[in-house]
Structure 1
């Protein structure tokens, strides 16, 4: 039984995990100041990790977070990396830069994302939420894994999802929403978040025996820049969609967390030793606890759909990743 709950802070979990954080090298995507990725990185920096690689689209914001880490923990190495998850070419460039660093990655935290935005496409022609939230991280992670796996050392991959996954499974026959003609911003968000969870399922299945642990997590509802495209009307539409789908649990008012409370499950997912147990590989986490599979919608934990998504993702990035 986890000692943590919705009010647990990132500092509390980091203190408990200090021996697991020490000397580790961590990659975090989406690290703009004021966001969950930056909060996670700054919190763990105090517990003597060897290195934190910070990746985001706006390099000046990455460098601002790197300066905060240096101020809090001068001994921790930081590497700012420009990463545009909406461009497969740029992802490949970023992965090459990370692979060229003389660092041994222990943890990858795929934190970056967008939420419920108007219909648009990435430069590669992919619906933006699916492209940035899932396909970008799928490609980046798989470009980094061969070097990591060659060292035959444990590795954790954390995919930040949301309980918004409930809003939609993977639309295998219409994942691009018919060029916007069938688009709903919340359904598209749900698809991308279900994809994050299925990606962890696939990684655990394919690479668990090689020392890889992969989990996904819901950080909670936090007021960050992630919701910049969401209005009160959008939230009313979200409530209506929940009602149509029969999700009575979500009809009430949101329980908002602080930034530190939101990042707590990041720290738990990245470092807590309990997750090394084989039965917890591929788990979905919330409030720094493992959520029972019986409480997770089938489309976000099904191994068949996970394999279908893997195959679709390989097709979209035009590269096979066979382990």
Structure 2
């Protein structure tokens, strides 16, 4: 006899409003945003990173640095911010391809050369790919792990001097509930050159890495430099291009549900019953605003934000055990240093 799946949790008992918008939270945190220098990696207008930049511009940050692979898309985002805010908010564009470690190094060097940008208050790491077919980066790493983790890991560490020069810096890797699909595959992070590849497991591994990266940053710099780091899940956002490469997204979702059932995850029921309803960009970007600017999370540095609430890691079904472990976080840090070919000495 088959074991019954867990029941869908009662979302109405959660202390948040999942319909809260980035527009509303920009107003709430306006004093925290004003005069800040904010770096957004992954800032096209069809992404939650671009939406985040567009919304927070209303609160008059000093500078928004728009970083991404396509300069054309970054220019479009910069133009939209200028139009929406009557050119009050300054923007600057930085080209970076997170899939290439050489591109990451070039972008970091360029940013470090900007003497007129003495520090960076917030680094929003939004760029990423999801459930792509098997491919290796030019550096020889599985593409989702390379783009979603190794590129951001190297970039943040290379620009750390400007980050730590801020009075109270914050680094925010955008993760996902998809981390449930895999812990770090320590002995086979490259999926045996494709032989053991599952696109959703690979996505899960990369999203677990985002959470562990935030934990490491908080542990290494929280006390010494007042740095805060939070990972987050923005929820299922229906207006992004993250799944644009899927020929049939319903088939891909079914493949994910099959894996969830194999793993015994409650999300199999949630997706099958349509409990996860798509959000608009404005709603999806709200958790980015909270994680980047809320003054209320300091006691939970290194934690995970979901629907604008900091998860209680001692009492949550949402964040899996392998993403909460400080030993795993340090182990990933050491592995990442090895893979990018550079130790950072802290």
TM-score scaled to structure 1, two decimals?
Answer: 0.96
SS of the equivalent of 1:153 reads: coil
Do residues 7 (structure 1) and 19 (structure 2) align? yes
197, 217, 225: which is aligned to 2:241?
Answer: 225
Is contact 1:116-1:229 (8 Å) kept?
no
Between the aligned partners of 2:88 and 2:112, the Cα distance in structure 1 is: 22
Q: Which residue, 332, 338, 344 being the options, matches 1:309?
A: 332
Residue aligning to 1:75: 88
Given that residues 258 and 268 in structure 2 are in contact (C-alpha distance below 8 angstroms), is that contact kept between their aligned partners in structure 1? no
- Does the 8 Å CA contact 1:5/1:289 hold for their aligned counterparts? no
Say if 1:28 and 1:109, in contact at 8 Å, map to a contact too: yes
Residue 4 (structure 1) shift: 4.0
Pick aligned residue for 2:287 from 265, 280, 289: 265
Gaps of 5+ in 1: none
Structure with higher Rg: it is 2
Moved more, 229-238 or 58-67: 229-238
Deviation at 1:5, TM superposition (A): 2.0
Q: Report what 2:153 is aligned to.
A: 138
CA distance in 2, matches of 1:140, 1:43: 25
Larger CA deviation: 140-149 vs 184-193: 140-149
Q: 1:192 aligns with which of 206, 209, 217?
A: 206
Q: Which residue of 2 aligns with 1:274?
A: 296
Q: Tell whether the 8 Å contact from 1:152 to 1:211 is kept in structure 2 after alignment.
A: no
The answer (yes or no) to whether the contact 2:174–2:210 under 8 Å persists in 1 is: yes
- The whole-number CA distance in structure 2 between the counterparts of 1:237 and 1:264 is 29
Distance 2:233 2:332 in 1: 20
Contact 2:120 2:162 in 1 (8 A): no
- Structure 1 stretches of 4+ with a deviation exceeding 3 A read none
Task: Give a deviation string over 1:171-213, Cα, whole Å, max 9, x none.
Answer: 0110000110010000000000000000001000111011100
The answer to whether residue 46 in structure 2 is matched with residue 34 in structure 1 is: yes
Cα distance, 1:3 vs structure 2: 6.9
Aligned counterpart for 1:298 among listed residues 313, 317, 321: 321
Equivalent residue for 1:98? 111
Q: Is the 8 A contact 2:120 2:166 kept in 1?
A: no
Count of equivalent residues? 320
- Alignment partner of 2:265 out of 247, 263, 278: 247
* Aligned partner (choices 125, 128, 138) of residue 110 of structure 1: 125
Q: Which moved more, 1:118-127 or 1:187-196?
A: 118-127
TM-score by length of 2: 0.90
1:85 alignment counterpart: 98
Unaligned runs of 5+ in 2: 1-13
Q: Could you tell me whether the CA contact under 8 Å between 1:26 and 1:105 is conserved in 2?
A: yes
The two structures, once aligned, show a CA RMSD in angstroms of: 1.4
- In structure 2, the partner of 1:182 is 196
Distance 1:289 1:299 in 2: 20
Q: Separation in 1 of the partners of 2:202 and 2:47?
A: 22
In the alignment, is residue 206 of structure 1 matched against residue 224 of structure 2? no
Check if 1:286 corresponds to 2:306: yes
Deviation at 1:250, TM superposition (A): 3.9
Shift of 1:229: 2.7
Distance 1:76 1:115 in 2: 31
Q: Secondary structure at the match of 1:222?
A: coil
